[in-house]
Structure 1
């Protein structure tokens, strides 16, 4: 057993990235953010790409800062899912990876359904149909020079791991988001790739979360100020899908719980021992994604705080003086449930532009639904948060129904756990207590998986979560009466209302 470890948790989000120094011991779990950088899609000639080389540069800069602050026992990377880079036969990157918010997959799910029945596809992958799933991106890329030249596909955290170690592979929690992964056998579905005329040979070997990938390459070790030679700092495959790491960091205490990993996206669901592959689950568009220790994350993707952040960005570009605390204070005093919309409407997915602003999209949805149109920023923010809380309620209840599970509490982790108004509205809407925190659940889960691999006495998820509870304060929100959430749910639409 190792008494104390210090690791680097690289936590990459679609709007910002962070490199954290994490200390882990028997009663110690502490994070320090040593480096933060802006991230986001880069428009080029009508397409939207990731500056992945820039992300790698910033990752190295953060690792250098961690190494300057003390010992470095391990490195783990988690990020958003589905996006990938292609390598040629020399191991070189074939162009910039596309952002999942690029429009190239419009209409592709319908094309794929003409080749493989949607029910059959769900029975294999258990995956929620989202237009940007990796499988749809690859079908959209069929016939391109890049795909025809590709030797290997690497999801983004695996690509960055490759640049650190020189090792090719795909970590299972992220692979499970691609639409090419058999959720029952936990292997690539080569047959599915063949039926879609995709080059299945580019799918790399799979690795489990918690496995040691390799030590840093000598040039990388030198670049971040580490000694070159044996044994070297190991890079560890954590739950590289950030939600998989975030669910590790849910501080549950034996409760029957649902979770909301609330950030740019909100992932709402349950942790199960096996997938739910029923036709009802498919029609409800729930997903079965891999978790740490062989668990399944049975969840629904909800649009999340992206809509709020894009609205704030729009107002700032218009020269309005806006700050989030003031906006939230105004929203708290706005009329409850005055306006509710379907927060998952596809019109809210693309980034806001000067000609297509996020607040105007929300107003258009309200008009189309016959709802009062929110005019002021405070009314817009209240519309977003009320609608998000309704989406959380709807999907918590539906997940429980589909899985035959009852719950006692909803855990909200991630950045949204710091939004007191959203957490209270979630408790009110669900009619259940909400335990909010920690905000850094993904980085904590990343660090915990690394620590266990390196010898910490953390034999299972229960032990990891107990350490989170002992070292982090949580905020409890009790449900309040008054607002008519049932009526508000019906206003969103009969197919969205839920129980």
Structure 2
């Protein structure tokens, strides 16, 4: 691409991170990977942490490689990560220990404790966020109840992408989409819900100003620039929540669509011009997360391909190590419609052995556990497809009419079996792609920050022009069997409403 602007996107997920250069010429976008690295958690004496200083070093390595391959004239840099996790800074901006991983068991029981202090109806009305014990709100409450010296010494709280951006720029700020995942932000004002924090006895002095996605956060410090062989490159806040960036890259041509960001987590929802804070939404445990250009992402967090990732690890420990392509092929060959699980059952959040956790769930619900690797993986994938159907059913109800198209974006689009199962379970067309949606959205929001893109519609047109998509049509031949499967699934999940 001649005369293309070059943007560097750091996209950190729960399993891996990457540095990606986006080349944008005003009409089309092309991505080039420059560095990939594992993220993951580190378990130390029963506590699960993020090794955030290593992640910082990996990002610096990615910047240095980008400069070497594409030159010093990068137009911008942006960070996005998973939600809810954070670092605490003390006097002199010293990091007060490694941030805890959201799957750490230190958060167990915090929902009930919070609800004893503030009713769940009030928490939802003030934040619009789905109740999950991993949310920042309950992590902070856990630190308070443990009388954590970190919390007592803390002067600033920064969500993970804001922390990395601070170390690159020396400027502290909070971006809206990532802040919204904390369950501590008012979705109407798009600012911190200080009154809620006070009622829960949590400190209010920790929080920095919230800015909208597309805002420039600063420029590289001299220290980072010298280490990476470049100058004072601008650092922008894209949608710093990885799902927020992924939704930017949904290649929809209108606003009446459902998106499914598929990866370690599955995030399925719709885009709205304002939050939907009804009792129906609260009881269904949906979430109103921040979006770009003033939008709200009304969605459901679903356990996602974490199920398959953990099965793979469990089988590897048994001496049966297979890559994801091999696991998918085994699942294709396994008999359909065996056992099902509820992907969001709490026992699947952080089990010591996912395969055994699945077997135990099946026994507990009166089913025979899947036998063998292929049957277990197929159980995961079919159960996800059925969970997507339930979620779509609720989304249709919220909006008052069925959605004709489901767009699947992210790494999960590479699992063609899951895409087809999803189309079959939903009995709706599924448009899959792009794979690198999060990095694409990151780059496009940086370009918006520089004034090269003026609207969300323009950004999505660029995606359609730049990346291949694949459509999966539902199979009429299996429709009746999916209907029977959905009846079984609803029963084992305790779903009683129509």
- Shorter-chain TM-score range: over 0.9
- Residue equivalent to 1:295: 295
The TM-score normalised by the length of structure 2 is 0.96
Q: Which runs of 4+ in 1 moved over 4 A?
A: none
What does residue range 7-406 of structure 1 map to in structure 2 within 5 Å? Answer: 7-70=7-70, 71-142=73-144, 143-227=147-231, 232-254=232-254, 256-350=256-350, 352=351, 356-406=352-402
Shift of 1:322: 1.9
Match of 1:409 in 2: 405
Q: How far off its partner does 1:28 sit? A: 2.1
8 A Cα contact 2:311 2:353, kept in partner: yes
Distance 1:335 1:477, change over 3 A: same
Native 8 Å contact 2:255 2:271 kept in 1: no
| Residue 432 of structure 2 is aligned to residue 436 of structure 1 | yes
Alpha-carbon displacement from aligned partner over 1:92-113 (angstroms, at most 9, x marks no partner): 1001100000001111110110
TM-score normalised to structure 1 length: 0.96
Does the residue aligned with 1:113 lie in a helix, a strand or coil?
helix
3-state SS, counterpart of residue 462 of structure 1: helix
Distance in 1 of aligned mates of 2:136 and 2:401 = 30
201-210 vs 240-249, greater mean Cα deviation: 201-210
SS at match of 2:134: coil
Residue aligned with 2:92, SS: coil
Query: Contact (CA 8 Å) 1:47, 1:103: kept in 2 or not?
Result: yes
Give yes or no for contact 1:255–1:408 (8 Å, CA) kept in 2: no
Matches within 5 A, 1:482-497: 482-483=478-479, 484-494=481-491, 495-496=494-495
Following the alignment from structure 2 to structure 1, what is the Cα–Cα distance between the partners of residues 399 and 186? 19
1:474 partnered with 2:469: yes
CA RMSD of aligned residues (A): 1.4
In 2, the alpha carbon distance for the partners of 1:201 and 1:146 equals 14
Task: Give the 3-state SS of the residue equivalent to 1:90 in structure 2.
Answer: helix
**SS of structure 2 residue aligned to 1:439:** coil
Preserved CA contact (<8 Å) 1:490 1:496 = no
CA apart distance, 1:327: 2.0
Counterpart secondary structure, 2:117: coil
- Equivalent pairs counted in the alignment come to 489
Shift of 1:498: 6.8
SS of alignment partner, residue 121 of structure 1: helix
Q: Give yes or no for contact 2:314–2:354 (8 Å, CA) kept in 1.
A: yes
In 2, the alpha carbon distance for the partners of 1:255 and 1:169 equals 31
Unmatched tracts of structure 1, length 5 or more: none
Counterpart-to-counterpart distance in 1, 2:400 and 2:44 = 47
Distance 1:137 1:196 in 2: 12
Q: Is the 8 A contact 2:40 2:50 kept in 1?
A: yes
1:452 lines up with 2:448 in the alignment: yes
Shift of 1:454: 1.8
Task: Say which is worse superposed, 484-493 or 261-270, in terms of deviation.
Answer: 484-493
Higher mean C-alpha displacement, 331-340 vs 285-294: 331-340
Shift of 1:367: 1.2
Q: Does 1:465 align with 2:460?
A: yes
Structure 2 residue runs of 5 or longer lacking an equivalent are none
**Inter-partner Cα distance in structure 2 for 1:405 and 1:187:** 32
Cα shift at 1:405:
4.7
**Distance in 1 of aligned mates of 2:3 and 2:443:** 15
